[in-house]
Amino acid sequence: MSSPTICENLQNCSPEANPDLWNHSVSDKTQICEVDSPQGVRLHELPEFDVYVPSSLGEALTYLSGEGRGSRLLAGGTSLVPEMRKTGIRVRKVVDLSGLSDLHYIRRTQNTIRIGGLTTIRELTEAKIFDDRYCCFKELERSFGFVTTRNMATVGGNLAASAEGDLAEILLVLEGRAVIRSAKGERAVGPTNLGLADGELIVEVQFADLKGLVSTWFNKFEKRNEDGKGGIATTTLLKLKNDRSVEDVRIAVSRARWKETGRVRRAESELRGKIANAENVGRALDKLESEIDPAGDYRGSSRFRKEVTKAMVREGLAKCLEKLDRERGESQC
């Protein structure tokens, strides 16, 4: 017997299939069920939809460009399903990507790291290919959703679901790109503002392998909510020369400008070329404070977000420095 697809699993979790899982009352007319949650969230029933399960990328792209036009792609489902349940959007056709094993990989080819679009967050955090230079990925284990979320959530799904997601921020610092394919061809963009069109699929993300005395860190103040939006997160990369001067520094923060995740290039410039010490880091952080303009919300005001972002970047740089100082010490022995 073949194992159930993601879609079958989801339907088995529906209130009709498994009423014991839900403490709710259903109205036939509105198709909204009230779930007994602390927030009193009102959730919609999943609509009926057709499911197509391609077994290769070629099959998926052909379907998407023909009879499957207008389909929604389903990878891990950790963003799409909550979106459907919360907004009640009508989805008629779903392409379940779980059969595309050709998009499940993490490879180093020459000087480039390539990660398949269906690689899960858990595979990313546990990948042996990533040494200590890639603490940014390892830190996702601590801060990305729950273990069940990390088991299902995919790299492609994270980039497609929200420009505020964790991977977009990390890839901004790694200066990565998303490779997007459709029946018409391929393009490489991003990692933010992907402008995904109907029939397009994120097949890979890629970035130049980190070399030399370099370290990265990812920091999150508060878990983002289930669509990956709203939390405060920062990613830092520090590359030193042997005399402890900064060869390269890259910093990305959530809500750098209003709700947009972005690099803080003025702060980076302030530190680049200087000796990495408390005084110079302090100057860079002052620049960062004047550079960012985060949108406030019910989680915290703009002022609060600025202060927390600044503290988190300080911590991220300190973590990188700590590691690089250890390495410099070892190489000098």
Ligand X SMILES: Cc1cc2nc3c(=O)[nH]c(=O)nc-3n(C[C@H](O)[C@H](O)[C@H](O)COP(=O)(O)OP(=O)(O)OC[C@H]3O[C@@H](n4cnc5c(N)ncnc54)[C@H](O)[C@@H]3O)c2cc1C
Task: List residues near ligand X by CB under 6 A.
Answer: 72-80, 82, 117, 144-146, 149, 152-154, 156-158, 160-162, 165-166, 196, 201-202, 223-224, 226-228
The residue whose two tokens read 């004047």 is 290
> Which tokens hold the place of 166?
């964790």
CA distance 168 to 92: 29
CA distance 43 to 32: 6
Smallest separation, CB 181 to ligand X (Å): 9
Nearer to ligand X, 77 or 262 (CB): 77
Nearer to ligand X, 249 or 256 (CB): 256
Contacts of 1 (CB under 8 A, 6+ apart): none
The answer to whether the beta carbons of residues 196 and 160 sit under 8 Å apart is yes
Smallest separation, CB 313 to ligand X (Å): 19
Nearer to ligand X, 85 or 239 (CB): 85
Nearer to ligand X, 144 or 207 (CB): 144
11: exposed, middle or buried (Cβ count in 10 Å: 0-12, 13-18, 19+): middle
Smallest separation, CB 9 to ligand X (Å): 13
Nearer to ligand X, 46 or 74 (CB): 74
Nearer to ligand X, 149 or 216 (CB): 149
- Nearest residue to ligand X, by Cβ distance, number only: 157
Smallest separation, CB 96 to ligand X (Å): 9
CA distance 195 to 41: 31
Secondary structure tally for the chain: helices H, strands E: 12, 16
DSSP string, 221-241: SS---TTS-S--EEEEEEEE-
Smallest separation, CB 245 to ligand X (Å): 34
The answer to whether the beta carbons of residues 201 and 185 sit under 8 Å apart is no
Nearer to ligand X, 74 or 321 (CB): 74
Contacts of 96 (CB under 8 A, 6+ apart): 5, 6, 7, 51, 52, 53, 74
Smallest separation, CB 94 to ligand X (Å): 8
Contacts of 146 (CB under 8 A, 6+ apart): none
- What b/e readout covers 125-134, taking b as 16+ CB neighbours within 10 angstroms? beeeebeebb
CA distance 159 to 161: 6
Nearer to ligand X, 168 or 320 (CB): 168
Smallest separation, CB 301 to ligand X (Å): 22
The residue whose two tokens read 């420095």 is 321
Smallest separation, CB 38 to ligand X (Å): 15
